[in-house]
Structures are given as C-alpha cells and as structure tokens.
Amino acid sequence: MNADNAEDPPKARLVTEVWGVFRSFLAARRNLLEIIPEAATRRPILSGRTGGVRWHMVCDPASIRRILKDNVANYPKSPVTKNILEPAIGDSLFVAEGEHWRWQRQAAAPVFTYRNVAALAPIMSEAADAACRRLETCGGKAEMHEAMVRATFDVIGRVTLTGSGRMDSAFVHGAIESYIASTARISLLDIAGIPMRIPRLRQWTSTKPLRTIRRIADEAIAHRIASGPMPVPDVLDALLDGIDPESGRRMNPHELRDNLLAFIVAGHETTALALAWSLFLLAYDPGVQERLRAETIAVLGGRTATAADVNRLSLTRQVIDEALRLYPPAAILSRSAQRADELCGRDIRQGDTVILPIYALHRHHQLWDRPDSFDPDRFSNGRPVDRFAYLPFGDGPRVCIGASFALTEAVIILATLISRFRFRRLPGPGPKPVMILTLRPHGGIHLEVEALPSRTAS
C-alpha cells in the first residue's frame, strides 16, 4: 500500500455479537456478508445454530481442501443455493452433482483450453478498445462497475452466441439484473431452516425476467443449429458437440439452454467485478497505479493488449489477484453435509450446513499479513500462497471452468485501460462491499478519468 494512504480500502462490517433468526434475516437481506462473524477472520472454525439450521463456518485451509477436493462428494451445494440458482439455470453444470455434473463438465471443457481461449482473445482486445472509446467521451468522470459490465458482457455475448445476431446485450443484461434483484435474496424461511418443499416468495417474483432470458437463449440455439458451427468454436458449439462418454447422449434442448444461460450469467459478472474493484484500488493507491502504468507501457508500447502479452503483464495480474482477494465475487459458498464427518476436530452431522466464508478466509489474520490492506506484491513471483487459503474461483474438481478465460480477459482489459487513462478517486464515501448473489460495489465506483496525452506517456 502507498504510504500516503493511511487507511485500508472499504470493508464489510462483520458480526461481533450473537444474533437471533430475525436479526440474521434482516442482515442477510441487506448484505449477506454481514452475517459473517468477525471471529471468522481469526479462528479456523465457528459453529452454531440459527433457527433449525446447525452450521459450521470453516476458514482452515486443510479442512477446506477436504470439503472441496478430498471428500467433495459429501459436500454438494446447499439446498438454499440450488433453490436460488435452479429457476434460472436449471440442473446445469453450475448446479448439477455426480455423474450428471461430470459429463456436462466434459462437454464444455474444450472451449476453455489454453488454445481456444487464445483463439477467442481477439474479442477481449476488441472489447478493451471499445471500453477505451467510451471512456474518451465520458466527460472526465465514469461509474466503473457499469463500464466494466458493459465491456465484459460484450465479450461473453460474442463467445457464447457468436454470429447469432439475436442477442441485444443491454436487454439481456437488464433481464439478468431483474432476475437477481427479485430472486437472489435470502428468505426468512431459509434462515429458519424451513424445508425447501415450502415455496419461497422469490419463486413467484422471478417469472417474467426468466421467460425473457429463456426465449432469447432458445432462439439463439435454434439459429445455431440451422446455421452450423462457427470457425472458432464457442461455448454454444461446445455444448452442441458434447457427448456423454458413458451413454453417448447429447444435451437435450433444456440442458443446452440452462448451460448456455449459466455461462452468460456467470461469464461476465466475475470479470466485471474484478476489473471494477481493481480500478478502484488503483485509484485508491496512485503509487501502485503508476507502477502498473510503467509495466503496461513497457510491454504494450501503445497498442492494445493481446493474449500473447498476458504472461509478461505480471503486475497487472497481481493487481487483479489482490482485488479478487479483497473483494471475491463469490464471497460465501454453502455446502450441505450428506454424511457425518470431522473438520478441525469438530463433529459434522448429516444435514449440517457447512459455510466457506471466502471473504473472511481472504482476510484471515493467521493466513495473511496485513489482511485488510491492498498489497499486490503479496502475489509476486516466489511468494507462497496456500492454495486453499485463496479461492476466488473455488478449487477441487468443481473449480470454476472459466477461471483462465476470466483472468485472461481481465488482464487484457485492465492493462489496456491503464496504459491510456489515469484514474483518481472522487470526493465522498467509497463503494461499500455488498453481497446479494455476488459481491458488488454498493453505490458504484465513481472515478475521475483522465485520458493520457499519448498512449506511451504518463
């Protein structure tokens, strides 16, 4: 952190006292991060009961490895998580378990190989250029979360539905936001542990945006089947070509649609948030921003970043990694124990909820030096980071399939932006980290944007 910045960047207010069901519900509706006890940033495991839910909050890397990797079959996604996601993306790769998950993962994997990500990377470079053109006409101020959502949605739209000619990005993004606003908040019934067979209000309030999104996806699939595959295979081509190696079956129309929507919803949000928080942190710490600008000018020489530059943009990647540490998009993961187990010497019973508070894990005082400070050098080459202490994309067999795609995109866009603009904080309170479905900057990230005199001068 720059010595001129005495304070740490904004953080969530964590719980310091015991709450009952109703107060926990109000906090979860307002900001899901606020149900995390502050003690979770200092202890390996916390356990308790809220209403009818017996829970364990785990921040011990060895235990997290057991949950996500060594005993993963015992810890599927919790019923609450599935109840929120299934109305939009069905039993897709992001929700399915067991063999149904495995064959869907195999079907989608080819599009996320290094070779195919590199082949799709020119779309990321074009999105970076388009974002720069928009900032050049922003009048010196911009809300960067919105700007980055637009940039990353341009990318995901083209790599999922290349050539369909049928997706209005703004319209689809609006429908997704409407779904999240109406559906992704916790119900009092969830907090109280009421079984999922009792319907939640969100199951009735999300029907209109869901119908809109599904119709667009169905039309795109029909168009691709009629027109044939693209020269560079995209996500939809991979899903259409995917075959279950055991049964020889292909995805039916509902499975195609659900997985396509899953990639659209998840594929832009994580990267947009990583970029928006990165830009805020760079405006917060001008010293790091100037170091990063020197790197981008040296590597790019005034041109737009490409996939071939990514491995040389080491500080750019470190900034993104640190933004993902401080503000992980998937800030809380929830699992449900299927059988009895033991974590950190504590008995886990069948049916217990096991929570991975990634936000607290990434700020744990036993795992990180100055955990609330912005310090991208903690990710510099040669400095060890425990694999299960840093989980912006999860880990184990269910690690995010698009992680390499998202990081390549983020490095290309951030490096291009920093080489051409200087970003400064505006007066007033900074963004507040708030989690509904993902960890977002409540109030927006409003920055002063100064176009540099030339692409190679700072």
pLDDT digits (tens, 9 = 90+) for 140-193: 999 999 999 999 988 988 888 665 555 566 677 777 777 666 655 554 434 444
pLDDT at 102: 87
> At residue 373, does pLDDT exceed 50?
yes
CA 72 to chain centroid, in Å, comes to 21
Q: Which residue has the higher pLDDT, 360 or 429?
A: 360
pLDDT at 183: 59
d(C-alpha 451, C-alpha 361), whole Å: 37
pLDDT at 182: 60
Tokens 């069905």 map to which residue? 90
Averaged pLDDT for residues 23-51: 82
Kind plus residue range of the DSSP H or E element containing 189: helix 188-192
pLDDT at 20: 61
d(C-alpha 262, C-alpha 86), whole Å: 10
Share of the chain above pLDDT 90, in %: 51
pLDDT-derived band of residue 136, with 50, 70 and 90 as boundaries? very high
Report the chain's C-alpha Rg in angstroms: 22
Contact 21, 15 (CB under 8 A): no
Decide: residue 244, CB within 10 A, 0-12 exposed, 13-18 middle, 19+ buried.
middle
- Across the strands, what pairs with 343? 346
Kind plus residue range of the DSSP H or E element containing 278: helix 253-284
Kind plus residue range of the DSSP H or E element containing 439: strand 439-442
Lowest mean pLDDT among 71-85, 348-362, 427-441: 71-85
d(C-alpha 109, C-alpha 106), whole Å: 5
pLDDT in tens, 390-411: 999 999 999 999 999 999 999 9
Decide: residue 384, CB within 10 A, 0-12 exposed, 13-18 middle, 19+ buried.
exposed
Fold observed for domain 21-451: Cytochrome p450 (1.10.630)
d(C-alpha 192, C-alpha 28), whole Å: 12
Averaged pLDDT for residues 251-268: 84
Averaged pLDDT for residues 368-373: 96
Sign of CA dihedral 236, 241, 245, 246: positive
> At residue 131, does pLDDT exceed 60?
yes
pLDDT at 200: 45
Secondary structure (DSSP) of 376-416: GGGGSTT----TTT--TT--GGGS-TTHHHHHHHHHHHHHH
Please tell me the pTM assigned to this model: 0.90
pLDDT at 28: 62
Q: Rounded to 5 degrees, what are φ and ψ at 46?
A: -125, 145
Averaged pLDDT for residues 310-336: 96
> At residue 46, does pLDDT exceed 70?
yes
Helix axes 253-284, 98-108, angle to 10 degrees: 70
Q: Mean pLDDT across the chain, nearest whole number?
A: 85
